[in-house]
Structure 1
Amino acid sequence: MSFGFLGIQFGFALQGSTMSRIFETLGAEKDNIPLLWIAAPLAGLIVQPIIGYLSDNTWHKNLGRRRPFFLLGAILSSIALLLMPYSSAVWMAAGLLLVLDASINISMEPFRALVADKLPDSQRSYGFVIQTLIIGIGTWIASNLPKFMNNVLDISNEAAPGVVPESVKVAFIVGAVVFIGSILVTIFTTKEYTPEEMKKFDPDSEEEKDEGMLKTILGTYALMPKIMKKLGVVQFFSWFAFFAMWTLANPALTSHIYNAPKPQIEEFAQLDAEGNIQYDADRVILFQDDQTRLEYSERDKSYNEASDDVGSKMGIYGLSSMAFALLLTFYTSRFAINRKIVHMGSLILGGIGFLLMFFIPGEPDMLYICFGLIGFAWGSILSMPYAMLSSSVESSKMGLMMGVFNMFIVVPQIIAALGGVVFLQKLIGEESIHAMSVAGIFLLLAAFSNLLITDRKAIKYDPA
């Protein structure tokens, strides 16, 4: 039932490891990159509650309740993935990011609800951990695709100024194929319970009159349970940290760890009296001379190689989250766990991983340790909060509740995108690596926010 998450994570991992690189390639200033990402959390804020409500109230005789949304999201996401690396301007890439993230959310939100639909409370930690295991596999493979295309298939990772390298384009094509293919596996191999069967499984749930989508969603926001609010604090700090990583890890690490920042074409090209770049008749950039052309080419090559390596090493957090999920899978299939303690410890390890990055300039291999630690936090973020929440929510509202819960994911990302992460980074120092320091501090705050959670049923499933 969770295999489709492999494709969803291909989309998210390519977006997370490569999108800032695309923005930089198209000429975006480093400090403006988080703002260019704002389309992604905005799409989630709008789409997820709507899809949650619609999937709770949908029943298709062939596709069931959640699977129609899997299919729609997969088709739209695959189209966006195919088009993204062919963007010719920053505004075009930002627009496609909005389409891509909204489409991924259409598929992703019902997957969370599907696990809760099909599993009793005693197996939900296990179910969400299995989902995390598949996400980890997808993260690692997709993050390594551009480097694999260049090193193994010999597809060039160099391109003219303002053009996305061919290796990145091919990686996105592979991502589109995997996305729709894995979603189709889930659609064709998973049975969903009818509304009547769901009622039998949860006879204590109250039958409520449908008051319409907008009123229902707003009412759910107003009357959200206490456990959701407390988990929301944890989620706020967690997702602020990871948004900082997705948007600024590439510029931060290529410059601080590899000493290979993206070269600014204005320093090498011929400029007119107003400082505009000059082009020849074929719209090819005119360099100052052959020496500056060669210097730009060498520095851009170093940047692209560093970006490939950053993306590859970011994939390690997918591997370690997979290992974390695998261990929890074996354990939670037999025993109860203290979800709060597991989540707190994992977030502390992730915070240490981010903070360590400042102390390792010139040592890219140390990033294996950093992202390995971050993966423990990521694996827990993708499983423990949902397991804790699902233990306190009626099955008839599971899709809507999961969608509303998404508010605590997207709001911190919107705040970070509107300048929050850059502002906090500059309070520490001008160096871009301090964006990762901010991420580490916020993960530690997320860890200790778990102390707010006191609900016994959410913390630990008790078979008795």
Structure 2
Amino acid sequence: MEKPRQNFAGLWNIGFGFLGIQIGFALQNANMSRIFQTLGAELEQLPILWAAAPLTGLLVQPVIGHMSDRTWLGRLGRRRPYFLAGAILAALALLIMPESSVLWFSVLMLWVLDASINISMEPFRAFVGDMLRRDQHAAGYAVQTFFIGVGAVAGSSFPWLLDHLGVANTAPPGQIPDTVRYSFWAGGLVFFLSVLWTVLTTREYSPEEMAAFATSDTVADSPDTLRLLAARGYRGSAIWAGAGLAIAALVAEFGLEKEMYLLAALVAGYGLASAVAIALARAGRENNMLAHIVGDFAGMPPVMKKLALVQFFSWSALFIMWINTTPVVAQYMFGSTDTASATYQEGGNWVGILFAVQNGVAAIAALTLLPLLSKRVGQARTHLICLLTGAAGFASFLVLRDPQALLLSEIAIGIAWASILAMPYAILASNLPQAKLGIYMGLFNIFIVVPQLLVATLMGQVMKALFPGEPIWTMAFAAAAWALAALAMTRVAGEVRQ
């Protein structure tokens, strides 16, 4: 017995909810630096203020992945309860966010918004693998990427469009413009309705149906990760904890930026968590979530480990881009660093258009370029080519000064973005055991989150030390990161099931 082959309408319904999810992300990515600076944040503070977003993903996605693998709520299913809960919370956060009048409250709401988006997003990644047979995985993630691109175009364009419709794009110092406020409110409504569409138009396979599907279309079960975890010693845990304490001591001794304490806490925290997990596994606590998550992390399949390094460098560049594109474009292409000026706000709106172009290109590439390339050279080599194309796009920021010319840069970046959203997940869905698809997709997010946290804690002080007041050089770091991701992808090619 095999999973039924989905027609285009089925693929559409499975992926449609990501339209709203990405609208939420696009509004966050294009506008949070603008909101933070409007409420008084300095340029060097932006990375640590953004740390809320990846940190919530780090904590939320493995937990939701583990829970959704073990959930079955009858007609509501396995993954869909999480889609719906996250959509409701995210819609409320998008409604409240633009009402922020002080910086600390906007940071708090970013935590809430990003946690809510992650509750919806993580099960969607596993949902495609659940619903589709292996030979449709690439198509399923390509359609999902199409909706991500369309949603990002819509979310990024909202403020620019409202500005051209006559909505006020400036506000008194310390207040968020109406273009941003109304965009967030519209985004919250679309987020909820698009996720609701997927919930109402799909039916998940029951545990009995999943067990009956042909094993020829699945990957062999992973080893007993709890047993392997119980056999581990505490030396590794002690090393992680000691490394965290050492980082904290260096920060205190040399007066480094206080943001480094966050990195120290995460490193030491993992050491402590792994020690507790080992103790639980040795005690036979088979139903303990922490032991399962740490055990599955330690027992990741080899292909996933190699692909994790690619993700690390890929998302380092993306986080650099989201934090710094607005300051770069406003300062170098529009000539303003005054966040209260009309010129700065015009630059902020143009960033929305650049992101819209990037995501529009990603949507088109997902349904055209990626299938063509992957058929000819395979999924792994397709990803390598796209990453190198995107690296060239980032490098072009160093020489271009015409805002219109940056559209060419965004086309190159958009091609890479399409591949980042589709190819790694198609590779994973075809190379991971189905019973643990949720937790492995959640753990894979760690290699999206950790580089973002490193950027958040380190990039500010690196720029302050080497290039104070010159954010343009962040684009050089982004280009180098994607070049390294492409190099790491050479280790993945040839080892995956296409």
Settle same-fold status: TM greater than 0.5. Answer: yes
Task: State whether residues 126 and 332 of structure 1, in contact with CA within 8 Å, keep that contact through their aligned partners in structure 2.
Answer: no
| 1:268 corresponds to | none
1:327 aligned residue: 368
1:457: how far off? 2.9
Distance of aligned partners of 1:425 and 1:409 in 2 relative to their CA distance in 1, 3 Å threshold: farther
Taking only aligned residues, the RMSD between alpha carbons, in angstroms, comes to 1.9
Provide the residue aligned with 1:196 in structure 2: 208
Give the superposition deviation at 1:426. Answer: 5.1
Q: Which runs of no fewer than 5 residues in structure 2 stay unpaired?
A: 1-13, 227-285
Residue equivalent to 1:151: 164
Choose the corresponding residue for 1:134, options 142, 147, 164: 147
Deviates more, 1:417-426 or 1:299-308: 417-426
- Change over 3 Å in CA distance of 1:428–1:26 after alignment to 2: closer
Distance 1:251 1:233 in 2: 29
Structure-1 residue corresponding to 2:40:
27
1:386 aligned partner, one-letter code: Y
Q: Deviations over 1:73-107 (max 9, x none)?
A: 00000011111111111111111001100100000
SS at match of 1:383: helix
Pick aligned residue for 1:359 from 399, 417, 432 = 399
Q: How does 1:208-223 map to 2 (within 5 A)?
A: 211-223=287-299
CA spacing shift, 1:329–1:374, aligned 2, 3 Å: closer
Distance in 2 separating the partners of 1:66 and 1:54:
9
- Deviations 1:275-314 (Å, cap 9, x if unpaired)? xxxxxxxxxxxxxxxxxxxxxxxx6111111111111122
Write the distance in 2 (CA, Å) between the matches of 1:352 and 1:438. 12
Tell me the CA shift for residue 419 of structure 1: 2.0
TM-score (norm 1): 0.87
Q: Which residue of 1 aligns with 2:174?
A: 162
Query: Could you report, residue by residue, the CA deviation over 1:54-81 in whole angstroms, capped at 9, with x for unpaired residues?
Result: 1000001121000000000000000111
Indicate the residue corresponding to 2:475 in structure 1. 436
In the alignment, is the contact (CA less than 8 A) between 1:126 and 1:329 conserved in 2? no
1:23 is aligned with what amino acid? F
Tell whether 2:305 aligns with 1:229.
yes
Please state if 1:338 is matched with 2:378.
yes
| Equivalent residue number for residue 308 of structure 1 | 349
CA positional deviation for 1:211: 3.3
Aligned to 1:274: none
* Distance change (3 Å), C-alpha of 1:179 and 1:110: same
Deviation digits for residues 202-224 of structure 1 (CA, Å, limit 9, x no counterpart): 54755979533111101001111
Which runs of 5 or more structure 1 residues have no equivalent in the other structure?
264-298
Percent pairwise identity: 43
| 8 Å Cα contact 2:381-2:493 kept in structure 1 | no
- The within-5 A match list for 1:81-160 is 81-152=94-165, 154-160=166-172
Work out whether residues 362 and 418 of structure 2, in 8 Å CA contact, stay in contact via their aligned partners in 1.
yes
Encode CA deviations 1:239-298: one digit per residue, 9 max, x unaligned: 0100011111111111011112225xxxxxxxxxxxxxxxxxxxxxxxxxxxxxxxxxxx
The answer to whether structure 1 residue 374 and structure 2 residue 413 are counterparts is yes
Mean CA deviation greater in 5-14 or 381-390: 381-390
Q: Partners in 1 of 2:377 and 2:146 — Cα distance? A: 17
The 1:352–1:151 alpha-carbon spacing in structure 2 relative to 1, beyond 3 Å, is same
Q: Which has the higher helix share?
A: 2
Match for residue 288 of structure 1? none
Instruction: Report if aligned partners of 1:244, 1:421 keep a CA contact under 8 Å in 2.
Output: no
Q: In the comparison of the two structures, how many residue pairs are matched?
A: 421
TM-score (norm 2): 0.81
Q: Output the CA distance in 1 between the equivalents of 2:132 and 2:373.
A: 13
| Partner Cα distance (2:123, 2:295) in 1 | 20
